[in-house]
Amino acid sequence: MTLKAAYSDRVIMLSTLLLIAMGLLMVYSTSNVFAISKHGDEFFFLKKQVFFFILGLGAFYVAMKVDYKIYRKAAYPLLILSMIMLTLIFVSGIGIKAGGSRRWIDLGLMTFQPSEAAKVSVVIFLAYALSSKQERIKEFTAGFLPLMLIPGIIIGLILIEPDLGTAVTLSAIVMIMAFIAGVRLRYILGVTAIGSSLLYILITTVPYMSKRVEIFLNPWKDPSGSGFQMIQSFLAFGNGGVFGVGLGAGRQKLFYLPEAHTDFILSVIGEELGLIGVGAVIVLYVLFLIAGTSVALRAKDLFGTYLALGLTFLVVLQAATNMAVVMGVLPPKGLALPFISYGGSSLLMNMIAAGILLSIYTKSNEQ
């Protein structure tokens, strides 16, 4: 299912801006009381998100105007830069530890989450490698193995932060792009089996991971402890019903639902705007998926096709995973809802991804 070429760019731009507008509105709604209690300023989180939105607009415009083919030459430099930033997380005085994880670096005026940039870098690298090695893509040693090893280093660095959710999501993107490019299915299934085995070992041996799965299966086992967040998310959706209790009138965000303005912002959307609000968010992501796929199918070269598909799935798969988590379908993973959740790094990099999609669209329609 594709859109007419004349509409794909408009749909990407419109869906992106509407999701961001929804995000800014809900960041304020979910964080104002918490911001007053912690920082004495109800607009504290909103102002930071607006700052990154303005920064993102500039990056979005540049990414849209720059010829996407430049990323072919930048694939390896971007990967190296991502590796350096992911390594700096563990350097004292630069890396920032919060919530038991090291995921941010201090840039002075702001903090940045390197894994967000790394995800885009890996997609660019895969688009370059898959399009360059198309004739050898079915070979294991010359084609498939290098494609796995290089992104594997990035995924490994993300995993030891630890950030299991991002590592798993990025691994899924790698497998999806490899499958689309025509890599032999047995190679993909083999790596998936190995990855699943390693994930099982991690979950069963690392206490906090096993605890997450245990609580996911039965949050009522510890309703005032580990299961509290999941139960409050269910209550938020239940309170909202079809039409919601009204914008700003939600109660679960009032110190009941942890991470209300970040990972669990959709729960508050469900409470305040109801099934209609959640449905509107889903529709916008589906439109983004259709338009992004349409751009990929009309790209003039394989690099553009793989890059557009990778960036589209990068946004949509994160959105689907976040929704599955807050609705209790998957264990908590710590993934933001793209364009909506509070988080400057995520917003900035997703806006760049949307800008690159529009660059591919523009070049594909040039005579």
Per the structure, the complete domain to which residue 14 belongs is given by 5-364
Q: Which amino acid appears at position 336 of this protein? A: A
Asked which of 109-113, 224-228, 268-272, 354-358 is least confident by mean pLDDT, the reply is: 224-228
- Residue 176's pLDDT is 93
Q: What is the pLDDT of residues 178-219, one digit of tens each?
A: 999 888 889 999 989 998 898 888 888 877 778 778 878 888
Q: DSSP letters of 15-49?
A: HHHHHHHHHHHHHHHHHHHHHHHHHS-TTHHHHHH
Judged against a pLDDT cut of 70, whether residue 6 lies above it is answered with no
194 burial (CB, 10 Å; 0-12 / 13-18 / 19+) is: exposed
- Residue 1's pLDDT is 42
Q: Please indicate, yes or no, whether the overall pTM of this predicted structure exceeds 0.95.
A: no
Q: Which residue has the higher pLDDT, 62 or 249?
A: 62
Q: Which residue has the higher pLDDT, 23 or 365?
A: 23
CA distance 121 to 91: 22
Q: What is the pLDDT of residues 245-284, one digit of tens each?
A: 998 888 888 777 777 888 899 999 999 999 999 999 999 9
Judged against a pLDDT cut of 90, whether residue 229 lies above it is answered with no
- Residue 141's pLDDT is 78
Asked which of 1-10, 33-42, 274-283 is least confident by mean pLDDT, the reply is: 1-10
Per-residue confidence band for 29, with pLDDT thresholds at 50, 70 and 90: very high
- Domains contained in the chain, number: 1
